[in-house]
Amino acid sequence: MNTVQVDGLSFARGGRLVIDGVTAVAPAGSVTAVIGPNAAGKSTLLQLLAHLENPTSGTVRLGNTDLASLPRRRRARYVAFIDQHSAADLPLAVQDVVMLGRTPRLGRLAAPGTEDHDVVGAALLRTGAAQLARRVFAELSGGERQRVLLARALAQEPTLLLLDEPTNHLDVRAQLETLELLRDLARDGLTVITALHDVNLAARYADRIIALDDGRVVAAGETSSVLSAALVSDLYRVNATPLGEGRFFSFSLPGVS
């Protein structure tokens, strides 16, 4: 099973706890959105889940496996992470960037085989990046890069996909396409955990929410039961007004009409 179970996860920076006793679950085959204001700890939590940082205490399990117990290369067969600064200026062709996703599955010094090329081709197609295959990665727009990085992550064939603000740099259509793709991937059994600034995108696409504030979980669970106007107003210190049937919100600053 690919369910992620986080227990008592804490992490200190400069003597200050920036992740403070986070306990949460992300079931297999679901999309979980990590929401919260700037500096709440969303990126740090994802870095801990990806084991790019070692927690001060606590565990992250994928199914029955404690991810800390796996060597890095082995862990990369299970966990793919797209952070906000991935591969910024690689002087490589897009297809070679995506092939980097195969690294954990290739023997040391082994050249990619037919299967690897097939997986890369399929990943480029699935993310709508096939027409970019021969372009130089460093010359792509922000939105194009995001698609390629998603393709690289899919080429890893992970069971857990972590994303930090994947809709940054994307126009409205591309944002929706990205979230639709994440939903499809979850339907195929992948466990998806993504930080999202856009609460309405989280409302539309996430099965579950982890709401963070100052490093602590203030609410977690199924989106339909967790994501209320009261929670969103408190979390972001705004007035969140429910729209229509109340699934989505409009926002205003308190005291400003």
Which residues make up the interface to ligand ATP (CB under 6 A)? 13-14, 18, 36, 38-44
Nearer to ligand ATP, 44 or 156 (CB): 44
Shortest distance (Å) from residue 110 CB to ligand ATP? 35
Nearer to ligand ATP, 150 or 196 (CB): 196
Buried b (16+ CB within 10 A) or exposed e, 63-87: eeeebeebeeeebbebbbbbbeebb
Q: What amino acid occupies position 141?
A: S
- Strand pairing report for 191-195 and 16-26: unpaired
Nearer to ligand ATP, 13 or 117 (CB): 13
Cα–Cα distance between 239 and 250 in angstroms, integer? 8
Shortest distance (Å) from residue 196 CB to ligand ATP? 10
Residue in the block written with tokens 């639709």: 180
Q: What angle do CA 156, 83, 53 make, to 5 degrees?
A: 90
E strands, 127-213, where? 160-164, 191-195, 208-213
Shortest distance (Å) from residue 119 CB to ligand ATP? 31
Q: What is the longest distance spanned by two Cα atoms in the chain? A: 63
Secondary structure (3-state) at 211: strand
Nearer to ligand ATP, 19 or 185 (CB): 19
Shortest distance (Å) from residue 36 CB to ligand ATP? 6
Nearer to ligand ATP, 129 or 220 (CB): 220
Structure tokens at 235: 């979390």
Nearer to ligand ATP, 48 or 151 (CB): 48
Shortest distance (Å) from residue 233 CB to ligand ATP? 18
Shortest distance (Å) from residue 47 CB to ligand ATP? 8
Q: Please, is 153 exposed, middle or buried when counting C-beta atoms within 10 Å of its C-beta (0-12, 13-18, 19+)?
A: buried
Shortest distance (Å) from residue 41 CB to ligand ATP? 4
Torsion of CA 103, 107, 113, 115, to 10 degrees: -70
Nearer to ligand ATP, 17 or 92 (CB): 17
